Amino acid sequence: MNKKLLLSHLNNAAAKDWRDWRWQFKNRVTRIETLETLLGKTALPNDGLKAVTSVYPLAITPYYLSLMQGNDIHDPIRAQCVPDPREISGDGNIPEDPLEEDSHMPVPKLVHRYADRCLAIMTETCATYCRHCNRKRFWSHSNHLSLKTRMHNMLRYIAEMPQIREVIISGGDPLILDDHILEYLLSSLKAIPHIDVLRIGSRVPVVMPMRITGELCRMLKRYRPLWFNTQFNHPSEITSESARACNMLQEAGIPVSNQSVLLQGINDSPEVMRNLLYGLQKISVRPYYLFHCDPAKGCLHFRTEPKASIALMEKIWQQCSGLCLPQYVLDVPGSAGKLPLNMLSGKIKNDLKNHQHFFDKFK
Ligand code: SF4
């Protein structure tokens, strides 16, 4: 999508607005009618999309929309952010909360699945709503507690649990919050003696990279060790703007890792996956996890077939250097955690058998 066209559509906004994250957030495309104007009515499947957005809302930053190439229905950016009738056409028995996070919340929006760490869901809002999100059940749920009460409940619980050493701040997207709110949370967590490490999970470097400002980085730097995980799913998301955002975090001493989701028709070909991993390595972002898409309501059409996906990752494993390789995992409910899916197939097992003499030497 042409950036100039977007700017002129958005009330002839000035180019400097484009670089302002508040402007990007305020001007998110949230209505099907606006999408129709921008993409052309014929480019959208049908008017069933309004029924989709009444269940799972629409929000796309102008920046992320600008990464779309023309009106191709298979465009990888479009497939991640434009609603699809299949989101509401699935089996009614599919869980909304496949990882059973809701049953591991000792206080509202704090998920405590593993003894040594917990996940603080700070907001239900994101800069861009990813159609494959396994927490899309939150989008339409209004937040009954004020942010202040939510934070205080979380902080009190964490302070009373000495086994928790790491807190993952996520959402929704926590970086839609203002710096002073984030700083209040980070400083309060840092003041708890048993908290060693903080982690932020945010997709803003991909969908609204202008949110990573010098001021934000200077603030985050004060709360290291702080780890940052983001979610690039396709090489076309690696742009000069997203690379700059990651670089600013890295220059503040904050390691940036990537957690992709394997998505049907988006990144499930060896060529696209290889380019994504090479691209991440080029911007010094470590490919950390590749998640097999969860069986969440509204996301089934993104799920890939496990055998083919394992074969895909074997190919990648054989072609790419170790620094490019994420761990390919299936997240499962409860504390069992993330099951590695790499190296499970017969082919790899056979290859290993062929090298038995090598392993014998270690006996
Ligand atoms: S940014 Fe994260 S939480 Fe928000 S919609 Fe995308 S995947 Fe879901």
Which CATH number characterizes residue 159's domain? 3.20.20.70
**How far, in Å, from the CA of 172 to the mean position of ligand 1?**
6
Can you tell me the distance from the alpha carbon of 223 to that of 45, in angstroms, rounded to the nearest whole number?
Answer: 46
83 with 187, same domain? Answer: no
Residue among 41, 124, 204 nearest 49 (CA): 41
Whether the pLDDT of residue 359 is over 90: the answer is: no
29 lines ligand 1 (CB under 6 A): no
**How far, in Å, from the CA of 351 to the mean position of ligand 1?**
38
Instruction: Give the pLDDT band (50/70/90) at residue 358.
Output: low
Any domain includes 151: yes
Q: In sequence order, which ranges of 191-293 are alpha helices (DSSP H)?
A: 204-207, 214-221, 240-251, 270-282
Instruction: Render pLDDT for 13-44 as a digit per residue (tens, 0 to 9).
Output: 788 899 999 999 999 999 999 988 888 777 77
Residue among 282, 293, 288, 181 nearest 227 (CA): 288
341 with 258, same domain? Answer: yes
Whether residue 179 contacts residue 215, with contact meaning beta carbons closer than 8 Å, is answered with: yes
Instruction: Render pLDDT for 40-86 as a digit per residue (tens, 0 to 9).
Output: 777 776 668 899 999 999 999 999 999 998 778 889 999 999 999 99
126 lines ligand 1 (CB under 6 A): yes
Closest C-alpha residue for ligand 1 atom 6:
130
In the chain, % of residues over pLDDT 70: 90
Q: What is the pLDDT of residue 251?
A: 98
Side chain identity at residue 96, one-letter code: E
Residue among 222, 143, 238 nearest 190 (CA): 222
Structure tokens at 75: 């465009």
61 with 156, same domain? Answer: no
62 with 141, same domain? Answer: no
135 is catalytic: yes
Which of 88, 115, 135 is the C-terminal boundary of a domain? 88
Q: Which of 63, 64, 84, 133 is catalytic?
A: 133
Q: What is the pLDDT of residue 265?
A: 97
259 with 126, same domain? Answer: yes
Pocket test for ligand 1, best of 133, 140, 293 (most atoms within 8 A of CB): 133
Structure tokens at 357: 């003499």
Can you tell me the distance from the alpha carbon of 169 to that of 35, in angstroms, rounded to the nearest whole number?
Answer: 31
Whether the upstream peptide bond of residue 225 has omega within 30° of 0, thus cis, is yes
Domains in the chain, number: 2
Rounded mean pLDDT of 208-237? 98
Any domain includes 362: no
302 lines ligand 1 (CB under 6 A): no
53 with 136, same domain? Answer: no
165 with 124, same domain? Answer: yes
Tell which wins on pLDDT, 101 or 250: 250
**How far, in Å, from the CA of 349 to the mean position of ligand 1?**
36
Q: What is the pLDDT of residue 16?
A: 87
Tell which wins on pLDDT, 175 or 314: 175
131 lines ligand 1 (CB under 6 A): no
Instruction: Render pLDDT for 148-188 as a digit per residue (tens, 0 to 9).
Output: 999 999 999 999 999 999 999 998 899 999 999 999 999 99
Q: What is the pLDDT of residue 197?
A: 97
Stretch (H or E) spanning 344: none
Whether the pLDDT of residue 90 is over 90: the answer is: no
What is the overall mean pLDDT for the chain?
90
Instruction: Give the pLDDT band (50/70/90) at residue 1.
Output: confident
Question: Which of 86-95, 119-128, 272-281 comes out lowest in average pLDDT?
Answer: 86-95
Q: How many Cβ atoms sit within 10 Å of the Cβ of residue 34?
A: 17
Any domain includes 308: yes
56 is catalytic: no
What are the two backbone dihedrals, phi and then psi, of residue 340, each rounded to the nearest 5 degrees?
-65, 135
Q: What is the pLDDT of residue 357?
A: 65
143 with 274, same domain? Answer: yes
**CB under 8 Å, gap of 24 or more: what pairs does 81-84 form?**
81/128, 81/129, 81/130, 81/131, 82/35, 82/39, 82/44, 82/58, 82/131, 83/32, 83/49, 83/52, 83/53, 83/56, 83/58, 83/131, 84/45, 84/52, 84/131, 84/301
- Distances from the Cα of 173 to the Cαs of 71, 120, 204, 218, 251, in angstroms? 28, 11, 8, 20, 22
139 lines ligand 1 (CB under 6 A): no
Which residue range is the domain that position 9 belongs to? 3-88
163 with 289, same domain? Answer: yes
135 lines ligand 1 (CB under 6 A): yes
217 is catalytic: no
81 with 160, same domain? Answer: no
Rounded mean pLDDT of 107-122? 95
82 with 106, same domain? Answer: no
Residue among 316, 345, 326 nearest 261 (CA): 326
